[in-house]
Chain A
């Protein structure tokens, strides 16, 4: 199942955290490949829409896995 926020079409969502900071954003895995990071701020319209998708369309945001970015 895919979801859409304006022109952003994505399949899954996962919280992002860092070792020195609690959860600060949500990573969206794009249908076309790659990702977009949406900061956790209700003033950000993308995040506000993401919360609408959670409430109204059952989108589940996965917990952060605390894995730092990996080497290529």
Chain B
């Protein structure tokens, strides 16, 4: 009788569909697997955090859950954590951008991110409209991706649904390589208003560089529209000729106010195969997001939108500061962040009424912008000017996004 290992080899090579009884429970024990029998590509990321993308299922939204966005208003980081949006080079159009609960069923997702065109626009010249996530250079450098090897890959997978079918482009913009250095890949939305899973593998390149720092390593972007100066790229290549972000086939998603697009389940992982989406707990995802952005509230049921309205709760600063404050006083608040920040963040205090760049005081009631602030990766000191005997209140946000 043949050995078990021979039987297993024959079974695996027989190109038949395995049934539940072909390999019994516990049959494949360690001593029956030769060293190297399971290749590295099948074990990469097993047992560790494999998804390089943070908040890929859009469940964390510390800033707001919905905004109306146009050039110069509610661009950049405005809704779901870690996700960036821009009307590049003053691109036209207006969209409502929101966290939603419309998701592909059966995969454990709770949220998606939606783009709803409310005013059309036609991109020209250097215009480019996209959403993206910036990834730290060090994260990519130490990800396990042999990124200077063209035979080594990272694989992007995501679920997308759009009322507008056609060709869209993904752009992997390598920030630490001088000049233009982008990998551009088309994907197609085949059926309107239907969730579709897309998978894109990105090869390494001998010229790729990711510095050993916590700054931008790449921008992974989903393009919605692009002008004529930005649509010269070739599909599925590293493109260096100009600043193009898309191929000529990219649709103009902003051509109709009936257009909507949803996305969720975004995963970037080392290897050439897309595995199931790594679902993290709410608490795990929030902590990952707080390396880049944090508010004085708890960040889930209370967001930045909770600021103002006469309620100071959560981790708002509230303290009796006595009568000792004067023009040269060093008295004030000291606040520690829940998570140490990637860089020294920009800290904005908000008064009782929700007004940015100020604080509230009780004696006499009022809003003051008379403060000094010193910020570190771990927290900040804020010095309040004398306003009599005061009880000082403020909420705050700390922004260290890439």
What residues make up the interface of A, taking CB atoms closer than 8 Å to B?
Answer: 4, 6-7, 16, 18, 21, 24-25, 30, 33-46, 68-72
Q: How far is the CA of A30 from the CA of B358 in the complex (A)?
A: 13
A69 touches B371 (CB 8 A): yes
Shortest distance from the beta carbon of A68 to any chain B beta carbon, whole Å: 5
B375 touches A72 (CB 8 A): no
Within 8 Å by CB of A43, from B74, B343, B357, B387, lies B343
State whether the Cβ of B373 lies closer than 8 Å to any Cβ in chain A: yes
Q: How far is the CA of A36 from the CA of B348 in the complex (A)?
A: 7
B344 touches A68 (CB 8 A): no
B357 touches A41 (CB 8 A): no
A46 touches B346 (CB 8 A): yes
Shortest distance from the beta carbon of B330 to any chain A beta carbon, whole Å: 8
State whether the Cβ of B80 lies closer than 8 Å to any Cβ in chain A: no
B387 touches A72 (CB 8 A): yes
Interface residue ranges of B109-143 to A (CB < 8 Å): none
Considering the complex, give the chain B residue whose CB is closest to the CB of A46. Answer: B346
The 9 nearest A-B residue pairs measured at CB: A43-B343, A41-B344, A39-B344, A71-B386, A34-B357, A71-B327, A6-B76, A69-B372, A69-B385
A43 touches B344 (CB 8 A): yes
Within 8 Å by CB of A44, from B328, B345, B358, B368, lies B345
Q: Mark B200-216, 1 if CB is under 8 A from A, else 0.
A: 00000000000001110
A7 touches B327 (CB 8 A): no
Interface residue ranges of B360-393 to A (CB < 8 Å): 368-375, 383-387
A35 touches B372 (CB 8 A): no
Q: How far is the CA of A33 from the CA of B386 in the complex (A)?
A: 20
Within 8 Å by CB of A4, from B72, B327, B328, B369, lies B72
Residues of A within 8 A of B344 (CB): 39-41, 43-44
Q: What would 19 A/B residue contacts be, using CB atoms closer than 8 Å? A: A7-B74, A7-B75, A16-B372, A18-B374, A21-B374, A24-B374, A30-B357, A33-B369, A35-B357, A37-B347, A37-B375, A40-B344, A42-B215, A43-B214, A43-B343, A44-B400, A45-B343, A68-B372, A69-B383
Interface centre among A30, A36, A37 (most CB of B within 10 A): A37
- In addition to A18-B374, A43-B213, A71-B386, 6 A-B residue pairs with Cβ atoms within 8 Å of each other are A35-B369, A39-B344, A44-B346, A69-B372, A71-B385, A72-B368
A45 touches B370 (CB 8 A): no
**Chain B at the A interface: SS class:** loop
Within 8 Å by CB of B372, from A18, A30, A45, lies A18
Within 8 Å by CB of A37, from B74, B215, B373, lies B373
State whether the Cβ of B274 lies closer than 8 Å to any Cβ in chain A: no
Within 8 Å by CB of B72, from A7, A21, A40, A72, lies A7
A44 touches B72 (CB 8 A): no
Shortest distance from the beta carbon of B95 to any chain A beta carbon, whole Å: 16
Shortest distance from the beta carbon of B117 to any chain A beta carbon, whole Å: 21
Q: How far is the CA of A68 from the CA of B329 in the complex (A)?
A: 9
State whether the Cβ of B53 lies closer than 8 Å to any Cβ in chain A: no
Considering the complex, give the chain B residue whose CB is closest to the CB of A9. Answer: B72
State whether the Cβ of B7 lies closer than 8 Å to any Cβ in chain A: no
A70 touches B369 (CB 8 A): no
State whether the Cβ of B339 lies closer than 8 Å to any Cβ in chain A: no
Considering the complex, give the chain B residue whose CB is closest to the CB of A43. Answer: B343
Q: How far is the CA of A71 from the CA of B369 in the complex (A)?
A: 11
Residues of B within 8 A of A46 (CB): 346, 399
State whether the Cβ of B73 lies closer than 8 Å to any Cβ in chain A: yes
B387 touches A7 (CB 8 A): no
B356 touches A34 (CB 8 A): yes
Q: How far is the CA of A21 from the CA of B385 in the complex (A)?
A: 19
State whether the Cβ of B342 lies closer than 8 Å to any Cβ in chain A: yes
Q: How far is the CA of A6 from the CA of B87 in the complex (A)?
A: 11
Residues of B within 8 A of A36 (CB): 346, 348, 357
Q: How far is the CA of A13 from the CA of B355 in the complex (A)?
A: 21
Residues of A within 8 A of B328 (CB): 68
